[in-house]
Structure 1
Amino acid sequence: MKILMLSDVYFPRVNGVSTSIRTFALALARMGHGVTLVAPEYEDRGPAVAVDDGDAFELIRLPSRTIFFDPEDRLIRRRSMRTALGRLAVRSWDVIHIHTPFRAHQLGVWLSQASGTPTVETYHTYFEEYVGHYVPWLPSAITRVVARRLSRRLCHDVDHLIVPSQQMVDVLERYGVGTPHTVLPTGIELDEFQGGDGARFRSRHDISASRPVLVTVSRLAVEKNIGFLIDVVRRLVSQFPDLLFVIAGEGPDAPRLKKLAADLVERGHVRFFGNLDRRHELLDAYRAGDAFVFASPTETQGLVLIEAMALGVPIVSTAVMGTAMVLDGARCAVVSEEDVEAFASHTAALLRDPARREALSAAGPQDAAAWSSETVMTRAQALYERLAYGERPWLAEAASHLNEASSRTRPAPRRAVADPARR
């Protein structure tokens, strides 16, 4: 199959969406499909976040500009969209897979309308919970209404949705989204999360082998709830005087978090490491931890939890939205409510019990096996084939919607979309 993927974000921008797209593209390419990814161009490609996939799939970069309220991200320029429309429209595609709701969405829907190619879009991000952090000058009630309305409109533009968790499906149904959907988490490249040397990381950064270490890997953003984990560490240091909390990642909330943790940083209990090389030092950082801690309430899936599982790092985490799906039935994790005292109590008990940590560590790779990209991509391939070669699923499902005694909004009919480069 010839698969066109479109996204407003990709490496070197480090986040879960970039990781998810790369996993999809690599797995599909290994299955013999032709994959083309269109993504923004970044002018600041740092070596710590560079990803070299060789000739695995075609990557087309479009000129872009920064966004004043979100300097990490890029917005594809309108002129480059016009050029891309011409280049892509003359090629033949079996399916168009859209990953983000901005210029990539516009481009994908326009191409679909022009060529009749079916579209699928992944709802990666719980925008209702995110948007207020980026436009804090607007009342939260307004941003939530806007996020819900925009989600409905965008979801009804496409033939099918991929939603990473049932919890996110429930949210979209509350919005009134009736577009046919498939629950399909991304999974991870298990081969890339083998090995790692915690002793090497500790030695490199002068961390004693006997020192208790907690690790988190995350984009440093308000919605990731890292401030909560810092409060947990503050509660724990009285019980573990030499405790160290390793924070790997970068993001717009870094200045606030460093200020919040300033006393702990000064006393040597918290260290910020920024983005680490995903093939080497990041694996070492995971493995250096006696436990991996996580408390984000807005994940649509929580890929870092699966990465920690694969590397055999015991987990202490809340279980909300996508993390609830990942941790359901997991034998390698301790689940806590989002309460500082309770989370600290669970973590302290684990730090005091080497035998339990060893048992959780041994279960991790077995739990992660269920999330291998190969397992997940078999389902993705079947979905693509249904869209490309079979009856459009939304046509068949529309009839069943008519017979449902439900007040949910039915999918709006797809409509012609103007060339977004001319808007």
Structure 2
Amino acid sequence: MRIGMMVDSYKPYISGITNYVEINKQFLEKAGHDVFVFTFGDLDYKDDETNVIRSPGLPLADSGFYLSMRYSRQAKKILQTMDIVHVHHPFLSGRLALRYCRPAGIPIVFTNHSRYDLYAQAYLPMMPEEVTLGMLQAYMPPFCKAMDLVIAPSAGMGRVLRELKVENEIEIIPNGVDLASFQNASPTPREKYGYKSDDILIVYAGRIALEKNIPFLINAFTGIAGAVPNAKLLIIGGGVQQYEEEIRDYVAGKDGAKRIRMTGRIPYDELPAHLSMCDIFATASVTEVHPLSVIEAMGAGLPVMGIESVGVGDTVQDGVTGYLATNDAPSFTAKLTRLCLDSELRKRMGRAAREASKVYSIERATQRMLEQYERLLREPGRRKDKLYFRLREILQRSLR
């Protein structure tokens, strides 16, 4: 099967979506399929994998995203040889899928990975919530109706799509994680960062971005610092340079700033060892759909401290694999303090988290996705339409 993954951004930009697409591509290829990634920009980037098809785009500052309303001629030709395409962003890639693949009779699958409603509130605070919600309610239902299959990575995201007036049948298929590397990692030596064996290491790993609510996490850590003198906060990841510098300045202005360390971006293959070095994974993000960073931490055997919300609330079982707080500082700080003070509780929750993470294995997720791809390709008339298009293209080329 020839499978096209359509994304608005890809490596070297790092996000949960790019990590998932890369890992999913690897496992689909191991299963004998030909997988192509179609994206924009970074034309000079040397990919460490095959079949990454890039089209020119206008860079949006240093966000890692590029703006373009078309694929290159070569990218379009390759795209139209796919048996199925899977869209991971609904706006640029989604519109191009409809433009290039619908006439070709190629089935289009869409996974909604992001809380676009909350992203709009974070990045466009001057725009009333009713306006952004209205825009999404105008765009998403007809877009999803044009898809052959709509997937939500969590039940909570499925409910959000319903709130946006999407009427399609929605399949719930979690994004998979290559858990083996997290379950079997040898911890990074604590001495590398000057930590002691009895320090309690709280870690956040992910993008440094406005929607991740990192100041909330820093404030919560500052709140526990007096009660837990050996607690340390490790923030792993990078983001847009300007915002990353703002967070560094924010940390520098806090009491106990020396107990907070920001590593910047690290290679993804070093993340499992870094997580295994730590005691607690903490996130204050409420914009997740299917938090891969949380699942990775659970695979490494860490209890999770999070906020009850779509995505995190679908993944973490409060009181079993970690704690979920309401979206207020006192609740979050109190539960995080309890985790820090009770080592047996951390160990028990960590074991439960590792076990619970197994349902998100990439092997399981890939198999479920393949079953959906194959179902779509078996639909009556699908192969006939695609064969007609290919024959028509051959005829058109012969007449040029």
Report the TM-score range of the alignment, normalised by the length of the smaller protein: 0.7 to 0.9
1:194 and 2:187 correspond: no
Preserved contact between residue 231 and residue 340 of structure 2 (Cα < 8 Å): no
Preserved contact between residue 156 and residue 311 of structure 2 (Cα < 8 Å): yes
Partner secondary structure for residue 60 of structure 1: strand
Are the structure 2 counterparts of residues 12 and 261 from structure 1 closer, same or farther at C-alpha, using a change threshold of 3 Å? Answer: same
Q: Which runs of 4+ in 1 moved over 4 A?
A: none
Q: Which amino acid aligns with 2:212?
A: K
Preserved contact between residue 190 and residue 373 of structure 1 (Cα < 8 Å): yes
Are the structure 2 counterparts of residues 383 and 234 from structure 1 closer, same or farther at C-alpha, using a change threshold of 3 Å? Answer: same
* Whole-Å separation in 2 of the counterparts to 1:330 and 1:303: 20
1:10 is aligned to 10
Of residues 98-107 and 133-142 in structure 1, the stretch that sits farther from structure 2 once superposed is: 133-142
Are the structure 2 counterparts of residues 392 and 376 from structure 1 closer, same or farther at C-alpha, using a change threshold of 3 Å? Answer: farther
* Whole-Å separation in 1 of the counterparts to 2:320 and 2:95: 42
Q: Which amino acid aligns with 1:279?
A: D
1:299 and 2:292 correspond: no
Preserved contact between residue 292 and residue 314 of structure 1 (Cα < 8 Å): yes
> In the TM superposition, what is the alpha-carbon distance from 1:184 to its structure 2 partner?
0.7
Report 1:239-250 matches (<5 A).
Answer: 239-250=227-238
Preserved contact between residue 60 and residue 67 of structure 2 (Cα < 8 Å): no
Partner secondary structure for residue 384 of structure 1: helix
> In the TM superposition, what is the alpha-carbon distance from 1:185 to its structure 2 partner?
1.0
2:39 is aligned to 39
Report 1:264-343 matches (<5 A).
Answer: 264=254, 267-280=257-270, 282-328=271-317, 331-343=320-332
* Whole-Å separation in 2 of the counterparts to 1:286 and 1:294: 14
> In the TM superposition, what is the alpha-carbon distance from 1:25 to its structure 2 partner?
1.4
Are the structure 2 counterparts of residues 32 and 152 from structure 1 closer, same or farther at C-alpha, using a change threshold of 3 Å? Answer: same
Are the structure 2 counterparts of residues 177 and 132 from structure 1 closer, same or farther at C-alpha, using a change threshold of 3 Å? Answer: same
Are the structure 2 counterparts of residues 214 and 29 from structure 1 closer, same or farther at C-alpha, using a change threshold of 3 Å? Answer: same
Task: Quote the RMSD (CA, aligned, Å).
Answer: 2.4
Preserved contact between residue 331 and residue 360 of structure 1 (Cα < 8 Å): yes
Aligned equivalent of 2:76, options 69, 85, 90: 85
Preserved contact between residue 232 and residue 340 of structure 1 (Cα < 8 Å): yes
Preserved contact between residue 306 and residue 326 of structure 1 (Cα < 8 Å): yes
Of residues 234-243 and 264-273 in structure 1, the stretch that sits farther from structure 2 once superposed is: 264-273
Q: Deviation string for 1:290-329 (max 9, x for gaps)?
A: 2111121111111111100111112222231011111247
Aligned equivalent of 2:195, options 197, 200, 207: 207
1:238 and 2:229 correspond: no
Preserved contact between residue 131 and residue 147 of structure 1 (Cα < 8 Å): no
Q: Deviation string for 1:219-256 (max 9, x for gaps)?
A: 11222111111111111111123421111111243233
* Whole-Å separation in 2 of the counterparts to 1:323 and 1:163: 14
Are the structure 2 counterparts of residues 380 and 199 from structure 1 closer, same or farther at C-alpha, using a change threshold of 3 Å? Answer: closer
Preserved contact between residue 43 and residue 55 of structure 2 (Cα < 8 Å): no
Q: Which amino acid aligns with 1:298?
A: T
1:22 is aligned to 22
Structure 2 unaligned blocks of 5 or more: 383-400
Partner secondary structure for residue 121 of structure 1: strand
Aligned residues: 380
> In the TM superposition, what is the alpha-carbon distance from 1:199 to its structure 2 partner?
5.0
Partner secondary structure for residue 9 of structure 1: coil
Q: Structure 1-normalised TM-score? A: 0.83
2:145 is aligned to 156
Preserved contact between residue 10 and residue 18 of structure 1 (Cα < 8 Å): yes
1:372 and 2:365 correspond: no
Q: Deviation string for 1:321-380 (max 9, x for gaps)?
A: 011111247833222222222222222222222222222222232111111011112211
Q: Structure 2-normalised TM-score? A: 0.87
Of residues 138-147 and 167-176 in structure 1, the stretch that sits farther from structure 2 once superposed is: 138-147
> In the TM superposition, what is the alpha-carbon distance from 1:136 to its structure 2 partner?
4.2
Preserved contact between residue 159 and residue 392 of structure 1 (Cα < 8 Å): no
> In the TM superposition, what is the alpha-carbon distance from 1:44 to its structure 2 partner?
8.5
* Whole-Å separation in 1 of the counterparts to 2:32 and 2:58: 34
* Whole-Å separation in 1 of the counterparts to 2:43 and 2:315: 35
1:66 and 2:59 correspond: yes
* Whole-Å separation in 1 of the counterparts to 2:312 and 2:381: 31
Q: Deviation string for 1:145-166 (max 9, x for gaps)?
A: 2233222232222121111111
Aligned equivalent of 2:163, options 139, 162, 174: 174
Q: Which amino acid aligns with 2:100?
A: L
Q: Which amino acid aligns with 2:253?
A: D
Partner secondary structure for residue 114 of structure 1: coil
Q: Which amino acid aligns with 2:157?
A: M
